[in-house]
């Protein structure tokens, strides 16, 4: 495993991190607790030290599973969780008001069975709460020692530029993959200039960049692969297939699986600190981690950049 330092922190994180939305179950066709715990342990055995989660993943289920998996291993794990998405029955609302952030943090600490969070992230912007209020609340929690560093997720460049007036953030977590590259133009350069670590999610496009899906596929409406990662059907599948075909070509040439090539492309990118990638079982966790044991050639990176 390779590691990169998050600028202006004491955190050296694995270039491949473990994403745990799948562990929540309901948005990924279900999940088994034991298999999820074993996946965490497999990732740790491979040198992964950053685990990313959120209360909204299974309405606390993901955090509870991680809490069980890392018991007795707290010193080996960097925990990143989030706040700001509140589930109310089938509906999800944005709430980054100070009282809500504080309440969410206390619940996360309890579920994770820890005393502090390494990176506490605003999951999505809340248009109904001034950024000053949110960042003031986050800074207060940092001073109290309940969180070590502040992070944000899904923030655009305009909103990022407002934050320094009220707080220092350590990380930005945004969507980046061979299928979603919008943050390359201005967001990554800005973060590099300001010393903000970049964590990427959606690194395998919800799994389609693993090369597993050769034909269009339909998922239930509650499945993230139908409402968030819309690459599995119609015109999007046709566009995606071109990239998957290229991954398969490079896979044959390098004798490396497509998922490792897609992840390698991300973590080798200048300005990216770590690629967050989900898994369903220990073998997937191991295979993802192995992408950090070798490097793509400059020629293959250029082919993928197209």
pLDDT in tens, 178-217: 999 999 999 999 999 999 999 999 999 988 898 888 777 7
Q: Work out the average pLDDT over 56-81.
A: 95
Q: What is the pLDDT of residue 88?
A: 76
- Residue 182 DSSP label: G
Helix (H) or strand (E) holding 68: helix 61-69
> Active-site positions?
57
pLDDT digits (tens, 9 = 90+) for 113-133: 999 999 999 999 999 999 999
Check if the beta carbon of residue 3 is closer than 8 Å to that of residue 12: yes
Q: Is 31's pLDDT higher than 90?
A: no
Q: Are strands 85-88 and 91-94 parallel, antiparallel or unpaired?
A: antiparallel
The residue range of the domain holding 108 is: 3-305
- The band of 39, judged by pLDDT with boundaries at 50, 70 and 90, is very high
CATH assignment of the domain containing 194: 3.20.20.100
Tally of structural domains, the chain: 1
> How many C-beta neighbours within 10 Å does residue 277 have?
32
Task: Report whether 126 contacts 86 (CB < 8 A).
Answer: no
Three-class secondary structure of residue 17 per DSSP: strand
Residue-wise pLDDT for 151-175, tens only, equals 999 999 999 999 999 999 999 999 9
pLDDT digits (tens, 9 = 90+) for 211-243: 888 777 777 777 767 677 787 878 888 888 999
Q: What is the CA radius of gyration of the chain?
A: 18
pTM for this prediction? 0.94
Sorting pLDDT into bands at 50, 70 and 90, what band is 28?
A: low
pLDDT for the residue numbered 153 = 98
């Amino acid at each position: 495993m390779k590691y990169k330092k998050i600028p202006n922190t004491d955190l050296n994180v694995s270039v491949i991190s473990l994403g745990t939305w799948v562990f929540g179950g309901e948005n990924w066709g279900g999940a088994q607790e034991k298999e999820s715990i074993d996946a965490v342990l497999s990732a740790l055995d491979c040198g992964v030290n950053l685990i990313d989660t959120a209360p909204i993943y299974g309405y606390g289920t993901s955090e509870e599973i991680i809490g069980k998996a890392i018991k007795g291993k707290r010193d080996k794990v960097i925990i990143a969780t989030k706040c700001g998405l509140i589930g109310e029955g089938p509906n999800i609302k944005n709430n980054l008001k100070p009282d809500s952030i504080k309440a969410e943090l206390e619940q996360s600490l309890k579920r994770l069975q820890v005393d502090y969070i390494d990176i506490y992230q605003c999951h999505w912007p809340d248009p109904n709460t001034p950024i000053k209020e949110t960042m003031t609340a986050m800074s207060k929690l940092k001073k109290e020692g309940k969180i070590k560093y502040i992070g944000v997720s899904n923030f655009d460049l305009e909103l990022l530029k407002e934050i320094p007036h009220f707080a220092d953030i350590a990380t930005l977590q945004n969507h980046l993959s061979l299928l979603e590259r919008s943050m390359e133009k201005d967001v990554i350069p800005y973060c590099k200039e300001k010393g903000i670590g970049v964590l990427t999610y959606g690194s395998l496009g919800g799994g389609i960049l693993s090369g597993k899906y050769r034909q269009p596929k339909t998922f239930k409406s509650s499945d993230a692969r139908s409402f968030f990662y819309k690459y599995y059907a119609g015109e999007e599948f046709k566009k995606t297939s071109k990239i998957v075909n290229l991954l398969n070509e490079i896979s044959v040439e390098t004798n490396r699986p497509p998922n490792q090539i897609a992840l390698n492309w991300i973590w080798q990118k200048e300005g990216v600190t770590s690629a967050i990638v989900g898994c369903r079982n220990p073998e997937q966790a191991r295979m993802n981690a192995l992408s950090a044991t070798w490097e793509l050639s400059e020629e293959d990176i250029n082919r993928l950049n197209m």
